[in-house]
Amino acid sequence: MKFLAMVVYKRASEESELNRILELQQRNLYANVPKEEQLKEGFVTVSHTFDILNRMNDVCPHIIAKDGDKVVGYALCMHPEFSHEIAILKPMFLEIETMVPNIGNYIAMGQVCVDKDYRKKGIFRGLYRTIQNAVKSEFEIIITEVDAKNKRSLQAHYSVGFKLLSTHISGGHEWKIIGLGTF
């Protein structure tokens, strides 16, 4: 059994950490997770390239949870300047832009994921606590979107204080845009 005292939360600063994020992402990608497991455990939708992940990290470093050298969780920071870089996220940013006067300065949380062996141990909450502390001086709100079918992810986000901002349909999916911070 793993002890959580070994888990360290930090901003990604090494190429090896970015590669480990991508490995964890691939294991939890919608297309790679069986349907039954998607319902129980959740999934991630976007597959990033190393290039985009690295450029995003250069602007606003991602938050990771590490157990030794192993990345066991991550929360990707996606500055709005990357709004046109990932096709599946363009509709989210267009929807956010309609809300911006009411929202203020924001950072998008581009994706959050926790390794299956580390779930239900507070890692998700630790990632969000860390990202809030890391970006609070620069951004008023953290915004993300979750596929409405990903009930586990929605419940987890609502449990740490996210609130529903908008619902929209894109690519045949219903998406919930949610925010954490000052409203």
Instruction: Extract the tokens encoding 79.
Output: 């500055």
pLDDT band at 181 (very low <50, low <70, confident <90, very high): confident
Q: Which residue has the higher pLDDT, 105 or 161?
A: 161
| Domain residue extents for the chain | 8-181
In total, the chain counts a number of residues equal to 183
- Strands, E, within 43-172: which ranges? 63-67, 70-78, 106-114, 141-147, 163-170
Instruction: Identify the pLDDT of residue 30.
Output: 86
User: How far, in Å, CA of 149 to CA of 151, rounded?
Assistant: 6
What is the mean predicted confidence (pLDDT) over 56-63?
97
Q: Per-residue pLDDT for 169 more than 60?
A: yes
Least trusted range by pLDDT, from 18-27, 34-43, 107-116, 122-131: 34-43
pTM recorded for the entire structure: 0.89
Instruction: Extract the tokens encoding 86.
Output: 């990932």
Is the four-CA dihedral 40, 43, 62, 72 of positive or negative sign? positive
Instruction: Identify the pLDDT of residue 1.
Output: 44
Architecture of domain 8-181: 3-Layer(aba) Sandwich (3.40)
Q: Per-residue pLDDT for 86 more than 80?
A: yes
What is the 8-class DSSP label of residue 29? B
Instruction: Identify the pLDDT of residue 101.
Output: 66
Q: For the segment 104-157, what is each residue's pLDDT rounded down to a tens digit?
A: 789 999 899 999 999 999 999 999 999 999 999 999 999 999 999 888 889 999
Q: Per-residue pLDDT for 45 more than 90?
A: no
Least trusted range by pLDDT, from 20-34, 46-60, 89-103: 89-103
In the Cβ-directed half-sphere of 88, how many Cα atoms lie within 13 Å?
Answer: 16
Q: Per-residue pLDDT for 158 more than 50?
A: yes
Instruction: Identify the pLDDT of residue 52.
Output: 96
What is the mean predicted confidence (pLDDT) over 14-31?
95
Instruction: Decide: helix, strand or coil at residue 150.
Output: coil
What is the mean predicted confidence (pLDDT) over 44-71?
95
* Percentage of residues of the chain with pLDDT beyond 70: 95
Report the 10 Å Cβ neighbour count for 108: 25
